[in-house]
């Protein structure tokens, strides 16, 4: 299994692709991360990749796995990343099942 790209590897790849110094590419990555942190409460979208959103979780009952005791888990805010459809399609390849079904129906309709 291949290793995940490190920050320096991403910066080096961007620097090579955009023909800029590695330091400038690394600074760009840092500033993008800082901007995402500042704007996440409003929703921060990276076009083609996905969106950072702040979600309020309700209080719920849970269970302590060590003792089996029932405990109350309080409500809290969490940050989630919702992957964009274009990203899913690019990584997983092909259209989703619903689109495949529509394409199959069109082929059947054309034959009639």
Q: What residue segments make up the domains of the chain, in order of their start?
A: 1-41, 43-112
| Residue 21 predicted with pLDDT over 60 | yes
Strand partners, 69: none
Task: Give me the chain's average pLDDT, please.
Answer: 88
Separation of alpha carbons 76 and 79, rounded Å: 10
- pLDDT, tens only, 89-100: 999 997 656 555
CATH number of the 43-112 domain = 4.10.520.10
CA 17 to chain centre: 23
Q: What does the CA dihedral 36, 37, 41, 44 come to, rounded to 10 degrees?
A: 10
| Residue 41 predicted with pLDDT over 70 | yes
* Residue 97 burial (CB count, 10 A): 8
Q: Which two tokens stand for residue 21?
A: 């110094």
């Amino acid at each position: 299994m291949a290793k995940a790209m490190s920050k320096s590897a991403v910066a080096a790849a961007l620097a090579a692709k955009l023909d800029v110094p590695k330091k400038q590419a690394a600074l760009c990555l840092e500033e993008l991360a800082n901007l995402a942190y500042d704007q996440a409460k409003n929703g921060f979208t990276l076009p083609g990749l996905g969106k950072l959103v702040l979600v309020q979780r309700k209080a719920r009952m849970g269970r302590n796995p060590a003792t089996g005791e029932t405990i109350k888990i309080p409500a809290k805010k969490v940050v989630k990343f919702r992957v964009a459809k274009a990203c899913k399609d690019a990584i997983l390849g092909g259209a989703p099942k619903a689109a495949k079904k529509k394409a199959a129906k069109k082929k059947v309709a054309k034959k009639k």
